[in-house]
Amino acid sequence: MASHIVGYPRMGPKRELKFALESFWDGKSSAEDLQKVAADLRSSIWKQMANAGIKYIPSNTFSYYDQVLDTTAMLGAVPTRYGWTGGEIGFDTYFSMARGNASLPAMEMTKWFDTNYHFIVPELGPDTKFSYSSHKAVSEYKEAKALGINTVPVLIGPVSYLLLSKPAKGVEKSFALLSLLGKVLAVYKEVIAELKAAGASWIQFDEPTLVMDLDSHQLQAFTEAYSELESSFSGLNVLIETYFADVPAEAYKTIIALKGICGFGFDLVRGTKTLDLIKSKGFPSGKFLFAGVVDGRNIWANDLASSLSTLESLESVVGKDKLVVSTSCSLMHTAVDLVNETKLDDEIKSWLAFAAQKIVEVNALARALAGHKDQAFFQSNASAQASRKSSPRVTNQEVQKAAAGLKGSDHRRATNVSARLDAQQKKLNLPVLPTTTIGSFPQTMDVRRVRREYKAKKISEEEYVNAMKAEISKVVKLQEELDIDVLVHGEPERNDMVEYFGEQLSGFAFTVNGWVQSYGSRCVKPPIIFGDVSRPKAMTVFWSSMAQSMTSRPMKGMLTGPVTILNWSFVRNDQPRYETCYQIALAIKTEVEDLEAAGIQVIQIDEAALREGLPLHKSEQAFYLDWAVHSFRITNCGVKDTTQIHTHMCYSHFNDIIHSIIDMDADVITIENSRSDEKLLSVFREGVKYGAGIGPGVYDIHSPRIPSTEEIADRINKMLAVLETNILWVNPDCGLKTRKYPEVKPALTNMVSAAKILRKQLASAK
């Protein structure tokens, strides 16, 4: 009977780590205070797992910021600009890399596979010196041992570490990062030796890149790395852990052939094909299979009966004593503890399991395999599964029927985009290089307070509406003064672009403490989509009409698109994701049509997160893009030619999905552009034809810096070199919600001036 947990959330059940970090960063508490909070969190997590009966308890899955950055620290691979000169890496250097300091920006951050977690990208080159410079893994192992718990220290594997790195500034883009393997392994050997000396009997190497489409050269690196480490492994049990998707057949073949490895961990929730591989290709005899049957990416209670039968089918392949029940990935991608949910009703709660509950599930499965099935626990799980299947709160026949009816058509607008743009221009009569913003205006303390008080029922609806109306009117006046062409209402009534809609749609539930780490101390609280989605009544028409009544300029209706709502929520697992997405699309479609009927001529449907849902395997990407783009088109296929549909995206790495973006068939797209050295424009330089309106962001709203008129004009000029004058829009990179008015006013003033200068130039060039 054995149970294992791949990793555990670090933030704490009430985001204790977040608050401790932020207070330390603000200089309000000491390093010791922070270390104390961290140690308390670690010890309570270890004890929780030990008490639950987990056999293989991970350590070193705690992090003050990010586990990849921890590995960079372990390897001493600090970029030279941070001025570190050796010795154990302390908070100063560590947090400078993570967050930047007074004189230096932070290292780049990017998404961890297809999750919403972001890691700090290592910057390496031929001159990077590696030396063992953070003993965190060993000290945490010892810390747990002192509590009487013999843990499995977890390290990011050396090959994944290198594959997730990028060439440092000044290093050739083509630099072979894997050529650093030997140097990196030298440090790993020291770490392994020290862990062994401290008493570790197992080490877990996380090698999640094994689920990617790797080429034979990359796979070869795994063989090389682990052969090189083999001698260090003597007297130790080594587990190679993978997660997030199927392990492709070639990768499977490569790793099960590795010598010196005792166990392999697989995600059997997302990796159903891996399950087939294990059964068809076999599993090396005498090795442990860590079977990830409990989903670390979601909040649903496990279907224990079904998992048990999967596990039983594996027993015959790997042998009873070699099967270990595990989670599909680290539990850091799910919420922490259901116990702290005071607002969810009991029925919904019975369908859920957060990290703390998943530990219990893992253990119950392991015990059941060993012949000690907790009948009562399995029984109550089975009835919860049954209640979820039959609950009238989950199923809405009408919605099901409407969504099923969608598949026959691809929902395109009747007229092509250039004819639509002509028709729209006749009504809107915009200047060339029209200016606009992405939606939100600064969320002042006052705005937040009013929203909070209304939610807490401390102020009446009337008071709330009046306060919001005043705010909207202020934002409208400001935009008129700035002479912006297409206005927004500023979104003061919204806390979050997904939550705002989820709260008004049926089929969504909200947690109080269901936080998931996004990066550093930042957490998100995804809504839970538990049932068929429908829209009981109009969601934004009231605010948008109010805003439109305040101005004669076009006011953009502002919606979040179905794919983004889907990708930023915990999604039901009892139907395919696309079914849920189509349902949301239908709900948004009715909102679009209500806005149009209320006289709103420009409607923006944000798809900030469309790219995030892209599957890790190339073979699955086309299918995703197909239904995602289709869902977007469903929302606006029914509007008149004269209604202008905008969309907005928060990323610039879209060269590989440009054809899908064109296929969305929006009239205008505004898109992030300035943070990424204008990589976005290269796709047009390479000759991709884009006929719709496009507004590549002219300045970065993530920074407090105010761009000058010249700088913005220069950016627009660069865009004009690759895009037709009549399709170009001028706008910032993203919403202005996190900025302050003293930054926003001058920045937008300069943006409008730049647009006007260029209009003049274009007119005189005619």
Is 532 known as a binding-site position?
no
Residue from the set 58, 439, 507, 514 that interacts with ligand GLN by CB under 6 A: 439
Euclidean distance between the first and the last CA atom of the chain, given in angstroms as a whole number: 80
**With binding defined as CB under 6 A, does residue 440 bind ligand GLN?**
yes
User: Which positions ≥6 away from 118 have C-beta within 8 Å?
Assistant: 66, 109, 110, 111, 112, 518, 519
Q: Tell me: is residue 734 an annotated ligand-binding position.
A: yes
Residue 539 vs 734, nearer CB to Zn ion: 734
As a whole number of angstroms, the distance between CA 577 and CA 209 comes to 24
* Nearer residue to ligand GLN within complex by CB, 187 or 475: 475
Nearest approach in angstroms of CB 445 to ligand GLN is 18
Contact positions with ligand GLN (CB under 6 A) in 546-605:
558
CB nearer to ligand GLN: give 151 or 436: 436
Stretch 604-623 residues interacting with ligand GLN (CB under 6 A): 606, 608
Site for ligand GLN contains 715 (CB under 6 A):
no
Binding site for Zn ion (CB under 5 A): 608, 650, 734
Q: Taking CB under 6 A as the criterion, which residues in 226-285 touch ligand GLN?
A: none
Is 116 one of the annotated binding-site residues?
yes
* Residue 549 neighbours by CB under 8 Å, 6+ apart: none
Least gap, CB of 735 to Zn ion (angstroms): 6
Judged by CB under 6 A, the stretch of 222-230, 263-271, 434-442, 655-663 that binds ligand GLN is 434-442
CB of 167 to Zn ion, least distance (A): 28
Distance CA 760, CA 618 (A): 46
Residue 695 · residue 670 · CB < 8 Å: yes
Residue 737 as a binder of ligand GLN (CB under 6 A): the answer is yes
| Cα 580 to Cα 407, 498, 527, distances in angstroms | 13, 15, 14
Helices (H), 496-552: 499-502, 541-548
Pick what 558 binds: ligand GLN, Zn ion, none; C-beta below 5 to 8 Å, kind-dependent: ligand GLN
Q: d(Cα 5, Cα 296) in Å, to the nearest integer?
A: 10
What's the min distance (Å) between Cβ of 243 and Zn ion? Answer: 28
What tokens appear for 735 in the block? Answer: 């919403």
Q: Is 440 annotated as a binding residue?
A: yes
**Do the annotations mark residue 489 as ligand-binding?**
no
491 marked as part of a ligand binding site: yes
CA dihedral 684, 685, 689, 693 (to 10 degrees): 40
Which one of the spans 163-171, 204-212, 433-441, 612-620 is the region binding ligand GLN (CB under 6 A)? 433-441
Q: Considering the rule CB under 6 A, would residue 497 count as an interface residue with ligand GLN? A: yes
Least Cβ distance, residue 729 to Zn ion (angstroms): 14
Q: For 615, how many CA atoms within 13 A lie in the half-sphere containing its CB?
A: 20
In the complex, minimum distance from the CB of residue 670 to Zn ion, in angstroms, rounded to a whole number = 8
Decide if 604 contacts 547 (C-beta within 8 A): no
12 binds ligand GLN per the rule CB under 6 A: no
The SS3 of residue 709 is: helix
Helix axes 445-455, 461-482, angle to 10 degrees: 160
Minimal distance in Å, beta carbon 612 to ligand GLN? Answer: 11
Q: CA-CA distance, 605 to 639, in Å (whole number)?
A: 13
Residue 438 touches ligand GLN, criterion: CB under 6 A: yes
Catalytic residue of the set 4, 333, 411, 702: 702
Closest residue to ligand GLN, Cβ-based? Answer: 735
- Write the DSSP symbol of residue 3: B
Contact between 107 and 151 (Cβ < 8 Å): no
Strand (E) or helix (H) holding 645: strand 644-649
Our CB check for ligand GLN shows the closer of 497 and 755 to be: 497
Read off the DSSP letter of residue 413. -
Residue 646 Cβ, how far from ligand GLN at the closest point, in Å? 10
The interface partner of residue 475, options being Zn ion, ligand GLN, none and the CB cut-off 5 to 8 Å by kind, is none
**Which is nearer to Zn ion, 384 or 692 (by Cβ)?**
692
In the residue annotation, 653 being an active-site residue is answered as no
C-alpha span between 295 and 276 (Å, rounded): 18
Rounded Cα gap, residues 651 and 408, in angstroms: 31
**Buried b / exposed e across 388-425, counting CB within 10 Å, b at 16+?**
beeeebbebeebeebbeebeeeebebeeebeebbebbe
Binds ligand GLN (CB under 6 A): choice among 735, 747, 751, 752: 735
Nearest residue (CB) to ligand GLN, 9 versus 697: 697
Cα torsion for 160, 164, 168, 173, to the nearest 10°? Answer: 110
Size of the site for ligand GLN (CB under 6 A): 13
Min. distance of Cβ 617 from Zn ion in angstroms? 27
Q: Is 653 assigned to a binding site?
A: no
| Dihedral sign for Cα atoms in the order 611, 661, 645, 508 | negative
Q: Which stretch binds ligand GLN (CB under 6 A): 54-62, 76-84, 437-445, 498-506?
A: 437-445
* Candidates 181-189, 212-220, 342-350, 734-742; binding stretch for ligand GLN (CB under 6 A): 734-742
Largest Cα separation within the chain, whole Å, is 85
- Pick the closer one to ligand GLN by CB: 76 or 561: 561
- Pairing type for strands 528-534 and 288-294 reads unpaired
What residues act catalytically? 702
Q: Which residues bind ligand GLN (CB under 6 A)?
A: 438-440, 491, 497, 558, 606, 608, 648, 650, 734-735, 737
Going by the annotation, the residues of the binding site for 5-methyltetrahydropteroyltri-L-glutamate are 18, 116, 522-523, 568
* Residue numbers belonging to the annotated binding site for L-homocysteine: 438-440, 606
Q: Annotated binding residues, as ranges? A: 18, 116, 438-440, 491, 522-523, 568, 606, 648, 650, 659, 663, 672, 734
Q: Binding site for Zn(2+): residue ranges?
A: 648, 650, 659, 663, 672, 734
